[in-house]
Chain A
Amino acid sequence: MEDCFIEVKGLWKTFHNKKESVPVLKGIDLEVKKGEIYGIVGFSGAGKSTLVRCINRLEEPDAGMVRIGDKIVTSLNKKELDLQRSKIGMIFQQFNLFDSMTVYENIAYPLRVKKWKKEDIHRRIDELLDLVGLADKKDAYPGQLSGGQKQRVGIARALANEPDVLLSDEATSALDPQTTVSVLDLIKEINQKLGLTIILITHELEVIRYTCSRVAVMENGELLEKGSVREIFENPQCETAKNFISVYNKLRSSGWDG
């Protein structure tokens, strides 16, 4: 694909422990277009988190290539990688806010890493807090916030350095359905407003359906099926996708998904 912004090619990763070697990624290929929200869905242990961590090299892949824009991420040295990482925002299931810092300081952290000036930090944080709707929580500590508010701070922090890419690692999985919807709305909003390319991994199909344009189904370290969300929902090919869809439909018909 010519117009793809993030390209993953032949990615392999094996985890070793004393007894055995467990392959977690088995030759993953993935293309994500600029400005789209790309979903990766799979059961726990499928390798989704590892895949997304290979994109900003929180995990080092054993083989394969990751490209973002014109940068080959997998061949950057430590210094270049740190620079590149500030252009890749990431949000997490457990939010991973720093409890010792206020909301302001949490969002200021990535800016301080990049040595922004004090006034610029101040201005940027006001913008970001407006964007995520937490202007009144500037001096609160994460301990005072609800789950949804924490994830909003996480999003503000991830966006601070004006990244091109946002990686979302089960960002709504610890939230209740209502909060999930509001956080997904925020993700859609920043995708529209800022033209951010977003990779969203989740085990919840309704999250994919609500947010993404395209999706890949992952199982056992492989991407079994890729396509538009509509294609996968209407005509799932692989067993895992069929399984997911049938569970999803069962839950919906029992009224579980409002």
Chain B
Amino acid sequence: MSLYKYPFWEVLMHSFSKEVWEQVIPALGETMYMVVISSVFVLLFGVILGLVVVLTGKEGLFPCAPLHAVLGAIINCFRSLPQVIIIIVMLPVARLLLGQSYGSNACIISLIASCVPMFARLVESSLLEIGKGKIEAAKAMGSSNARILFQIMLPETLPSLIRSFTNAIVIVISMTALAGSFGAGGIGYIAVTFGYTRYQHDLLFATIIVLILIVQLVQLCGDAFSKMILKKRHLI
């Protein structure tokens, strides 16, 4: 149903109809697949990259200025590219790695390339929040660097890391929708192909509703989880 033919209210009501959702639900499945797989990789690589950046920093546990500078520069390069451009740039990489440059898996490659550097910066700023004094206290007690990292730095900053990861997932979701217009499928594909090209605004509305709901849900869970830990520690 197009807004050019039908009144807004009717189009909106129709976006809840069965025939619309028969198209949206499989697309939602594809989107969730991409979001979940990408988020796992983003979490893994982002935490590792963010940690290495912090640890090799001037005040870090293993100061190494050249590595710190090189990693920072690489992250900045990826971060300066808009998501659309990263998707285009990563298409050949996806073809090289997966043998095809379209579909959900190819999209996951672009999502990782775009979101890992972003999340690494968030991890970095979360880890830098820890008071210098706590690390000093741990050192004064004769701790090894590994112990400081795993038993002090990560647990102390966990609530902030969770909030950062929540933000990262939200960005992954929005980027999945964007990748939909480059053959990735999912919600974004529905919105572009039906909502934009064919004026099927009921489908467009449905995709909007779905995206809002997912993002709300992710944000709600992330906030609740982070708050739960802060409450347990009596910090709020």
Binding site for B on A (CB under 8 A): 56, 58, 81-86, 88, 90, 92, 94, 96, 98-101, 109-110, 113-114, 140-144, 157, 161, 167
Contact = CB atoms under 8 A, between A and B. Distances in A.
Contact of A96 (B134, B151, B158): B134
B232 A88 contact: no
A114 B141 CA distance: 9
B80 interface: no
A81 B139 CA distance: 10
Contacts of A56: 140
B76 to A, nearest CB: 21
B65 interface: no
A113 B141 contact: yes
A54 B183 CA distance: 61
Given A96-B133, A96-B134, A143 B141 contact: no
Nearest to B154: A100
A99 B156 contact: yes
A98 B152 contact: yes
A143 B136 CA distance: 20
B140 A58 contact: yes
Contacts of A157: 141
Interface string B115-152: 00000000000000001011011111111100100011
Is the contact region of chain A dominated by helix, strand, or loop, or is it mixed?
Answer: mixed
Given A109-B151, A143-B234, A82 B140 contact: no
Contacts of B233: 99-100, 141-143
A10 to B, nearest CB: 23
A167 B152 CA distance: 22
A96 B143 contact: no
B143 A90 contact: no
A22 B101 CA distance: 58
Closest 5 CB pairs of A and B: A143-B234, A96-B137, A100-B155, A82-B142, A85-B142
B141 A109 contact: yes
Contacts of A98: 134, 138, 152, 155-156
9 contacts: A58-B136, A85-B140, A90-B137, A96-B133, A96-B136, A98-B152, A101-B155, A109-B138, A109-B141
B77 interface: no
B235 interface: yes
B134 A110 contact: no
Given A92-B133, A99-B235, A144-B234, A82 B144 contact: yes
A22 B158 CA distance: 37
Nearest to A91: B137
Contacts of A96: 131, 133-134, 136-137
Given A82-B142, A109-B141, 15 more contacts: A85-B141, A85-B142, A92-B137, A96-B131, A99-B156, A99-B233, A99-B235, A100-B233, A109-B138, A110-B141, A113-B141, A140-B234, A141-B233, A141-B235, A161-B141
Nearest to B135: A96
A94 B232 CA distance: 21
B133 A94 contact: yes
Contacts of A58: 136, 139-140
A84 to B, nearest CB: 8
